[in-house]
Structure 1
Amino acid sequence: MTRISGRIVTPDAVVRGHLDLDGDLITAIVPDDSAGDDVIVPGFVDLHCHGGGGHTFTTGSADAARGAAGFHLRHGTTTILASLVSSPFELMRSAVLAYRPLVDEGVIAGIHFEGPYLSAVRCGAQNPDHLRDPAMAEITEMIKIGEGAVRMMTVAPELPGALEAISHLAGNGVLAAIGHTDATYDQTHAGVAAGATVATHLFNGMRPPHHREPGPVVGLLSSTVAVELIADNIHLHPGMLAFAARDAGPDRSVLVTDAMDATGMPDGQYELGGQEVVVADRVARLASNGSIAGSTLTMDVALRNAVAAGLPLVDAAAMASTTPARLLGLSDRLGALVPGLRADLVVLSPDLTLKSVIRAGESV
């Protein structure tokens, strides 16, 4: 048996005591006021990540995907989706085939296609050359050959055929997400009614709110979907992060990194979806027009930033782990520090700096 001591962040409270592990499972939480001041949170679950440590998920390379997943694992992300950007169908198809064995091995939890069925008006750092209207033949084939590996797809609901695509995704166990959209408030709600359950990086890549046309941001916050929030203090001001998280609540708010391969790497020139990206002082931007191009964020820093923005530690831990695990249908296995769940946990110092990571009972 392994025992980890400190302030244990459970779904309901912070308990000072001991977390007992037996093999790959959590077996008990034993209160003890004499336990140390380390902070123990569940292993992070990142629904939206394009790479890190010089490795990318966006090219369909299994070796690169292993490297990216390994980098983020060392920063506490014990469950991760491999996110691609808008790409030709041939690349999307080959990525599904290449990543399916990694899902079977548990290296990644599945694939997230951020595009290509997105708004050209709100494409952000997505390559406009690859954007197109939803193609049911493509979606159907990827779901079929993925055999459960395709877990999420971002779609702009105002595009022709988008509502049918969203409904088809939801009906086949794939999280349909709304993002990179110029939709009206009503079009956004139509997407939710069709089956969308996630908002891809709320605010970013979306028509801004207006008091006479609330648009997708207010449409999504006023719905039942879970909202992704990039807590790097670049994509969102800390005040806006706190506002959105409090409005949606921890059960509907999800911390994500949207990290690219430059995460953890020196400033310089990189590539994303066939476009040149320049990273300077940890900010990634397209060389062509200055659009923010993903992030250099890790989930441990996202948690720390969320708490610094004023969110309770219990809520921030839920946003980083419990809520995304539930969206993936994994809450019966992981995502919280509860006896009987998999022993995925991150040990932080009192100032929330990462100290160690344990996945399935094994130290990383």
Structure 2
Amino acid sequence: MTTQIAGCILTPESWVRGTLTFTNRITEIEGYPTTEPGEDEPLVLPGFIDLHVHGGGGADVMDADGAVDTVARLHARHGTTSCLATTMTAPREDIERALLDVGRAVRERPAGAARVLGVHLEGPFLNSTRLGAQPDFSRTATLVELTALQALAPIRVVTLAPERVGHLDFIRQLKNAGIVPQIGHSEACYEEAVAALTAGARGFTHLFNAMSPLHHRQPGIVGAALAHAEYAEIIPDLLHVHPGAIRAARRAIPKLCGVTDATAAAGMPDGSYRLGRQTVTRCLGGVRLADGTLAGSALTMDQAFRNFISMGLTPHEAACHLSMYPADYLGERDRGRLQPGVHADIVVFSPDLRLIQCFVEGEAIDVAQIE
């Protein structure tokens, strides 16, 4: 079925005031270029791509048994058109159960859900001193374990602590296998982080959080990211990272990728939820362990978009952080942009920044209503 949307359309070249026609892929964009949207017209943007999402709608990826379907459906209702299902540090058998479930969802997208592009393996190859909200099942990476997990579902990104013995070689092995190595949950010094980038690491997991901080005589991982990174994740819930730090990261890192790091609490009322083997509590706008440690978020991508705008970004800039840059990071050339031939992954916002339409590969999604 052919569908048309009218509005101000963000293409890779410019805004176009006109109509976008699509089936499961975009077939045509007609109209005339304009410098910026008008105040009274809808914004037609590329669908959002979340590189780091653990849960939503009361479900956690680690729950397995269809949990990833619930997660992908919840986030599609908030503008996420594709995502990486993200695991927790856990015993190997727990991760294997989760990946079996994710592998099924990757092979056949459930109706009404975001496209699951694969797995972000956030651990277990972390530093036990920088676990954040992760339980202490961290261990040194081996190619044997990775190969066994990769047979269950496509692993696209691996977060690891580069200072662990053998991990620089493991980064090279990941790169050679076409998997993106990402630095995070790490106590590495600046020099160790730079060595990891040289070995093939490409990004940083939730920049500023669960990593050695910036000090002017000990720049740490944060200093290495600000000095050398092309890509890094950031959680724009305005709780994990102060807006001033986000602005600093934007000036230093050309392709900052907004992620939700969402837990099962996303899209749900205040209360207790599961995050892997741990219980977390949603309250006061955040998600925390019993000791107050931030434990992922309740963020959705439509709110991330609004938060970026509230910081002074233009809709074009905000969309790049949530769509085009994540797509480029994964090498997904037919997502994250609106042009003929690419997947019809589309979000439409009203002039007051309410998400009013979402399409995943041409399928209309019943979007969540802001109360």
* TM-score normalised per structure 2: 0.91
CA-CA distance at 1:32 after TM superposition: 7.9
Q: Are residues 146 and 328 of structure 1, via their aligned partners in 2, closer, same or farther at CA, if it must alter by over 3 Å?
A: farther
Separation of aligned partners in 1, 2:322 and 2:265: 21
Q: Confirm or deny that 1:239 pairs with 2:244.
A: yes
Separation of aligned partners in 1, 2:315 and 2:329: 20
Name the residue aligned to 2:29: 28
Q: Which runs of 5+ in 2 are unaligned?
A: 110-114, 366-371
CA-CA distance at 1:224 after TM superposition: 3.6
Separation of aligned partners in 2, 1:280 and 1:23: 39
Separation of aligned partners in 1, 2:33 and 2:192: 52
Q: How many residues align?
A: 356
Name the residue aligned to 1:121: 129
SS at match of 2:116: coil
CA-CA distance at 1:220 after TM superposition: 1.6
Q: Judge conservation of contact 1:26–1:342 (CA < 8 Å) in 2.
A: no
Name the residue aligned to 2:279: 276
Separation of aligned partners in 1, 2:304 and 2:237: 6
Q: Which residue type is aligned with residue 221 of structure 1?
A: L
Name the residue aligned to 2:57: 53
Q: Judge conservation of contact 2:21–2:27 (CA < 8 Å) in 1.
A: yes
Name the residue aligned to 1:153: 158
Q: 1:175 aligns with which of 168, 172, 180?
A: 180
Q: Are residues 23 and 275 of structure 1, via their aligned partners in 2, closer, same or farther at CA, if it must alter by over 3 Å?
A: closer
Instruction: Give runs of aligned pairs for residues 1-364 of structure 1, distance below 5 A.
Output: 1-31=2-32, 37-59=41-63, 61-106=64-109, 107-128=115-136, 130-143=137-150, 145-146=151-152, 149-249=154-254, 252-287=255-290, 289-331=291-333, 333-364=334-365
CA offsets per residue over residues 42-73 of structure 1, 9 Å max, x none?
011000000101111123x1411101001101
How many percent identity over aligned positions?
41
Q: Judge conservation of contact 2:18–2:29 (CA < 8 Å) in 1.
A: no
Q: Are residues 31 and 319 of structure 1, via their aligned partners in 2, closer, same or farther at CA, if it must alter by over 3 Å?
A: same
Q: Judge conservation of contact 2:60–2:274 (CA < 8 Å) in 1.
A: no
Separation of aligned partners in 1, 2:16 and 2:244: 28
Separation of aligned partners in 2, 1:253 and 1:25: 26
CA-CA distance at 1:23 after TM superposition: 4.5
Q: Which residue type is aligned with residue 112 of structure 1?
A: H
Separation of aligned partners in 2, 1:84 and 1:269: 19
Q: Which residue type is aligned with residue 120 of structure 2?
A: H
SS at match of 1:108: strand
Q: Which runs of 5+ in 1 are unaligned?
A: none
Q: Which residue type is aligned with residue 141 of structure 2?
A: P
Task: Indicate the RMSD between aligned Cα atoms, in angstroms.
Answer: 1.8
Q: Judge conservation of contact 2:348–2:355 (CA < 8 Å) in 1.
A: yes
Separation of aligned partners in 2, 1:123 and 1:166: 20
Q: Which residue type is aligned with residue 172 of structure 1?
A: A
CA offsets per residue over residues 263-322 of structure 1, 9 Å max, x none?
1111111221212212112211111x2110000000111111112112232121111111
CA offsets per residue over residues 231-274 of structure 1, 9 Å max, x none?
0010011221122123212xx21010000001111111122121
Q: Which residue type is aligned with residue 221 of structure 2?
A: P
Q: Judge conservation of contact 1:242–1:306 (CA < 8 Å) in 2.
A: no
